[in-house]
Amino acid sequence: MTFNDIRVRIAPSPSGNLHVGTARTALFNYLFAKHNNGKFVLRIEDTDLERSDEKYVQNIFDSLKAMGLDWDEGPDVGGDYGSYKQSERLELYKNYAEKLLESGHAYYCYCTPEELEAEKALAQEEKKTYLYSKKCKKLSPEQVENFRNEGRVPTIKFEMPVKHLIFKDLIKGNVEFDTALMSDFVIVKSNGIPTYNFAVVVDDIEMKMSHIIRGEDHISNTPRQIVIYEALGAEIPQFAHLGMILAPDRTKLSKRHGATAVSEFINEGYLPEAFVNFLALLGWTSPERKDVEASTSEIMSKDELIKYFSLDRVSSSNAIFEFDKLNWMNGFYIRHLPTPELFERLKPYLQDYDLSIYSEEQIETMINAVKEPLVKLSEATDAVSYFFGNSINISGEIKEAALSAEETGDILSEFAKFSENIDYENIEKIHEQLGEFRTQMKPLKPKQVMWAIRAALTGRTHGADMGVVISLLGKKKVLLRINEAINL
């Protein structure tokens, strides 16, 4: 098999928004494909009529696109092996099921759910592994006729061949199963819809997948899928099973741990590129890079990830999803974004403000002054709030902390006078003038002086550079706020 033949896929079921686990699997598939000059395919597995919803298909599209994981073939862009929605491939599965029926690998099963339950309960009681009795395998024509008349609609079951099965997993190594312990299983439901294990195999064969990279929750499905490949005489793809992503409490990542959908993270203000970078490092590490400092060697663009990615550097164990590193990384990306670009990304979070009162240049100055501590874009809303509106609210807490000292009144009234002559247009100059003011206020401590002015002007005990604050606010608002603070 040449490198050009590499074809991988991500096959989410649209029964919810794109989950971070699925997103990470998609990423690894994407990186593997791109690194090897292969194709990355998107297939929607919507055979669960009950739970599938078109709105989730849209969410999957949007999330994948936001992450920059563009697919070469998929429901919207098409491809040589479509349709890329399972619900539109029903005829195909039917044909394959027919083949299996003819070759004797599969048979009709008329058992009712109740009968099956009873068998399982019995096995449970005897503490034996449940194996279907196969009683429907050798039904006489009369019995079939009777069941039909009763109105029973059969499922199609695949007969599990008994063998010692080994497959070589590209991440886990050899994985072995004894199929004698595995029951015959349904491949076509009574409603005519194929089950997952059957549909994936048919699709992966038809779509010529070379590698199946997925979560290790699928390991136990693998032997069932392999025997279908064999029954169909098809070439078996290479498997690679990724460890799970766990929540900090070491259980499966779920809603109760907070956000689990990629779209939620993005809406909260995580940059897609930071999120992708973080996800890539959950289970994979770059080989040592001599072109960069160790301290930033984990910061990688999509192109770098593609360049360095390989399956043999993927960890075989589970990984815990901790926010600390994601937060740091997101902040790092925010800090390093060119200002105009950052402004663009910040706009959705600044909608409540009248940005037109400032020039583009002033906005950029403002953004640069508040961006350092941002962890998420959404935090910008609060971080710039005091640059807007005339008066500000000063909470009792702030008043207590920064404006309650005896000298505060003096500092503020002196500053009110001083502010008449500030050069508001020139931030550098303001810094110098602020220095002069601090000297003027001696022996009061510089910190105390600045603390009071900051609190009066911003209602905060910390925030943007005071030169920037004063410059952007301008004389009118500075005076207004100082006077309001004096009269507090």
Residue with tokens 């479509």: 82
Q: Should residue 164 be labelled a site residue for RNA when binding is judged by CB under 7 A?
A: no
Burial of 152 (0-12, 13-18, 19+ CB in 10 A): middle
Total site size for RNA, rule CB under 7 A: 89
Four-CA torsion 180, 186, 187, 189, nearest 10 degrees: 180
Residue range at the interface with RNA (CB under 7 A); choices 72-80, 167-175, 265-273, 343-351: 167-175
CB of 356 to RNA, least distance (A): 26
Q: Which is nearer to RNA, 150 or 324 (CB)?
A: 324
Tell me how crowded residue 168 is: count the other CB atoms within 10 A of its CB.
11
Residues 187-216 that bind RNA (CB under 7 A): 189-191, 193, 195-197, 199, 216
Which of 37, 58, 95, 112 contacts RNA by CB under 7 A?
112
Residue range at the interface with RNA (CB under 7 A); choices 136-144, 179-187, 351-359, 410-418: 179-187
Residues 432-451 that bind RNA (CB under 7 A): 434, 446-447, 450-451
| Token representation of residue 120 | 């399982």
The question of whether 255 is a catalytic residue gets the answer: yes
Which of 24, 34, 85, 454 contacts RNA by CB under 7 A?
454
Residues 270-299 that bind RNA (CB under 7 A): 281-283, 285, 288, 294-295, 297-298
Q: Which is nearer to RNA, 36 or 86 (CB)?
A: 86
Residues 375-404 that bind RNA (CB under 7 A): none
Which of 332, 353, 418, 424 contacts RNA by CB under 7 A?
332
Q: Which is nearer to RNA, 317 or 393 (CB)?
A: 317
Q: Should residue 48 be labelled a site residue for RNA when binding is judged by CB under 7 A?
A: yes
Q: Which is nearer to RNA, 115 or 230 (CB)?
A: 115
Is residue 406 helix, strand or coil?
A: coil
Is residue 10 helix, strand or coil?
A: strand
Residue range at the interface with RNA (CB under 7 A); choices 26-34, 311-319, 345-353, 414-422: 311-319
Residue type, 122: L
Angle, nearest 10°, between helix axes 90-102 and 222-232? 70
Q: Which is nearer to RNA, 5 or 183 (CB)?
A: 183
Alpha-carbon distance 335 to 116, whole Å? 60
Residues 465-484 that bind RNA (CB under 7 A): 465-467
Q: Which of 127, 128, 138, 255 does the annotation list as catalytic?
A: 255
Task: Name which of 87, 70, 103, 82 is nearest 14 in CA terms.
Answer: 87
Residues 51-110 that bind RNA (CB under 7 A): 51, 86
Alpha-carbon distance 91 to 156, whole Å? 15
Supply φ then ψ for residue 174, to 5 degrees. -70, 135
Tell me how crowded residue 273 is: count the other CB atoms within 10 A of its CB.
19
Angle, nearest 10°, between helix axes 466-486 and 446-458? 80
Give 351's DSSP letter. Answer: T
Residue with tokens 């439901």: 189
CB of 57 to RNA, least distance (A): 12
| Token representation of residue 126 | 């005897």
Q: Which is nearer to RNA, 223 or 237 (CB)?
A: 223
Residues 229-258 that bind RNA (CB under 7 A): 243-244, 246, 250-252
| Token representation of residue 199 | 């549909």
Q: Should residue 306 be labelled a site residue for RNA when binding is judged by CB under 7 A?
A: no
Whether the link from the prior residue into 63 is cis, omega within 30° of 0, is: no
Which of 155, 365, 408, 471 contacts RNA by CB under 7 A?
155
Give 84's DSSP letter. Answer: -
Indicate which residues carry an active-site annotation. Answer: 255
